[in-house]
A = this chain, B = another copy of it.
């Protein structure tokens, strides 16, 4: 029943999401010593306008550095 929620950027492809789910599940199953069948992963994709770091929007940090 463990649940992993990962909050990050918008992802590039279904293949990238597939790998994320596979690798996070394998990591958790191994460390807990659980069958991976009972592990759920939820990927949250966030726009750079909806995340801030150090008090600034990621969208603004990206705009400045480009």
Residues of A within 8 A of B (CB): 1-9, 14, 16-32, 36-46, 49-60
Residue of B whose beta carbon sits closest to that of A17:
B49
Integer count of this chain's copies in the complex: 6
Q: Which of B6, B19, B31 contacts A4 (CB 8 A)?
A: B6
- Give A8 to B33 CA distance when docked, in angstroms: 12
Minimum CB–CB distance from A1 to chain B (whole Å) comes to 5
Give the distance in Å from the alpha carbon of A45 to the alpha carbon of B53 in the complex: 18
Contact among B24, B53, B58 for A24, CB-based, below 8 A: B24
CB–CB B42/A7 < 8 A:
yes
Contact of A27 among B16, B17, B24, B40 (CB under 8 A): B24
